[in-house]
Structure 1
Amino acid sequence: MSDVNELLEEAIKETENLNEGEVFLVKDLFKGYVWNRIPRKDRLLLGTLFLNYVNKMEGNIKAVEKTSSNQQRYEKVCK
C-alpha cells in the first residue's frame, strides 16, 4: 500500500477535479476499493494530515462541519 504522504498528495491533486461549492470527505477523493485497502490507522493519519494542510494553506478548500460519525467535511470555495 502507498505511503501516507503519497496518499496525501493524491488527495490534494484530486481536489482539482471538484466543482466550486462541492462538499466532500477525504474518502470521497479516492475510489471506494482504494479507500478500503488503506489500513484504518493510515486513513486516520491521512485525515489529520489533510486537515492540517487545509488549515495551513491559503487555498480553495476550507474545513466545514463534522458529520454525525465525526468525519471532517470540506468545501471547495473560489480563491
Structure 2
Amino acid sequence: MQDVNELLNVAIKETERLKQGEIFLVKDLFKGYEWNRIPRNQRLLLGILFLNRVNSLKDFIQVFEKTSSGQQKYKIK
C-alpha cells in the first residue's frame, strides 16, 4: 500500500487529466477498486491533505460545495 503522500501526488497528477469546469471528488481520481483498498483513516487524511494542497493551488482547482454526505467537491478552473 502506498503512503498518503504518494496517494496525494497520484491524485494531484490525475487532476491534470480533467477538463476545465469539471467537478469532482477526491475518490473520483482513483479507480473504484484502488479507492476501496485505501484504509478509511488514510482516505480521510488524504482528503485533508488534498484540501490543503488545493488551497495553495487556487489558480488551478477551486474548492466547491460539499455533497449531502459531507464529501468535499472541487472544480477545475
Q: TM-score, normalised by structure 1?
A: 0.95
What's 1:55 paired with?
55
Gaps of 5+ in 2: none
Is 1:29 equivalent to 2:29 in the alignment? yes
The percent identity for this pair of structures is 68
Partner secondary structure for residue 11 of structure 1: helix
Within a 5 Å distance, the mapping from 1:1-79 to structure 2 comes to 1-77=1-77
Alignment size in residue pairs = 77
Structure 1: 4+ residue segments shifted above 3 A: none
- CA distance in 2 between counterparts of 1:59 and 1:44 reads 24
Cα deviation, residue 58, structure 1 = 3.5
Partner secondary structure for residue 74 of structure 1: strand
Gaps of 5+ in 1: none
- CA distance in 1 between counterparts of 2:36 and 2:28 reads 12
**RMSD over aligned Cα, in angstroms?**
0.7
Cα deviation, residue 56, structure 1 = 1.5
